[in-house]
Structure 1
Amino acid sequence: MMVTTHAFVGLALASAVAVAAPDLAVPAAVGGAAGGLFPDLDIVGKHRKTLHFPVYYSLAAVPAVAVAVAAPGPATVAGALFLVAAAVHSVSDAGGGGLELKPWEGTSERAVYVHATGTWVRPRHWIRYDGSPEDFVLGAVVAVPALVVFDGPIRSAVVAALVASLAYTVVRKRIVEYAPEWMK
């Protein structure tokens, strides 16, 4: 899935917190969006392996959420949402395509690495590939809570990310035609 889709999921989680505790809306949004984005920073390394931790983020999220519920504050809420969003990101990548340059061809058996078992989870292709039309639709739907709950810079960032997501969706398959030779 697109990194924006993952960020929108983190913001959807943050929207629930913002409704319940408006004074924690901004830390929730920052933590949720950052956690949704963070695993994909490994695009420059071993993608879906270096920073994708489906088991470890999930395990770390449980006590972090408990602490945020027991002692709600900007740091605890942001930290809990970061870990939950990073866990959801890492787990949900298995629902998409594989790691090949043209994931719509479905030739890869590697979706996300599970460090705890030392194995790769195979792609499920529920979202055929990052930037597919269904990826854009999912991202747009998941962005709705953030568009409704937040205003100002957060809403503006969501709108800008939706526009960028649509542009990426339009050109996604063509990108590989213009990719540098070393990517092919």
Structure 2
Amino acid sequence: MMLPTHALVGLAIAVPVSFAFPEFASVFLLSGLFGGIFPDFDLYVGHRKTLHFPVYYSVLSLVLIPVAVFAQTAWIIGVTIALVAAAVHSIMDIFGGGLELRPWEARSERAVYDHFRDHWIAPRRWVRYDGAPEDLLLSLSVAGPLLFVVDGQFLWIVVGALVVSVSYVILRRPLATIAETLVEGVLKRTLPDSLLAYLPARYLR
């Protein structure tokens, strides 16, 4: 799924806890937002492998949830929310498309890396690819309730995520062609091999 979808889901995960502890609502919402987007920090360095841990994030979350419930310490709750959001992100990507420049072609069998079993999990393609219409539908379904329960800067984050989502869905397919043209027509001709090695393999056909 696209990053705005994960960001919105992370916020949604934090909402019930922020209602229970309104004095720490901003902290918990930020934790959910951060956890929701954190795995995609590996976008250009081993994407869906370096920071995607569907098993380990989930196990750590299950360990920390009872600790957070009994301790009710703000920082423990915040860390737990972030871990849950990161786990959900990593698992959600399994139900999306494969790791390829044009995932709508459905050629890749790599969705998310399972470090516990040391292999790639195949994509389920319930959401065919990041930026697919059904991805936007998921974003809208999560953002709708959020528009009525968050305020201040978080309301603007939700609105901004929706704007980015709609724009990305419109541009998703052309962006693949633009990226390929940029790599083939410019970067391969100007960058040394030592730097080209850092480009994700999906950009090098």
Question: Shared topology, TM-score over 0.5?
Answer: yes
TM-score range (shorter-chain normalised) is over 0.9
Structure-2-length-normalised TM-score: 0.86
Q: Which residue number corresponds to residue 181 of structure 1?
A: 183
1:31 touches 1:81 (CA, 8 Å); kept in 2?
yes
Cα displacement (A) at 1:16: 1.2
Cα displacement (A) at 1:74: 2.6
Please list, as runs of the form range in 1=range in 2, the aligned pairs for 1:52-91 lying within 5 A after superposition: 52-91=52-91
CA distance in 2, matches of 1:107, 1:172: 17
**5+ residue gaps, structure 1:** none
Cα displacement (A) at 1:138: 0.1
Cα displacement (A) at 1:44: 1.6
CA distance in 1, matches of 2:149, 2:80: 19
CA distance in 2, matches of 1:152, 1:24: 14
Larger deviation, residues 17-26 vs 106-115: 17-26
The structure with the larger Rg is 2
Q: Which residue number corresponds to residue 198 of structure 2?
A: none
Residue 43 of structure 2 aligns to a residue in which SS? helix
Please list, as runs of the form range in 1=range in 2, the aligned pairs for 1:25-174 lying within 5 A after superposition: 25-174=25-174
Could you list the per-position Cα deviations for residues 124-171 of structure 1 after superposition, in whole angstroms to 9, with x for gaps in the alignment? 110010011110110111123322211000111110111011101110
Could you list the per-position Cα deviations for residues 3-54 of structure 1 after superposition, in whole angstroms to 9, with x for gaps in the alignment? 1111111111111112222222111111111001000000120100000000
Q: Give the CA RMSD over aligned residues.
A: 1.2
Q: What is the number of equivalent residue pairs in this alignment?
A: 184
Residue type at the aligned position of 1:4 = P
CA distance in 2, matches of 1:162, 1:9: 12
CA distance in 2, matches of 1:118, 1:62: 21
Could you list the per-position Cα deviations for residues 92-138 of structure 1 after superposition, in whole angstroms to 9, with x for gaps in the alignment? 10100000100000000000000000011101110010011110110
2:24 counterpart of 1:24:
yes
CA distance in 2, matches of 1:13, 1:117: 27
Cα displacement (A) at 1:177: 1.4
Residue type at the aligned position of 1:181 = V
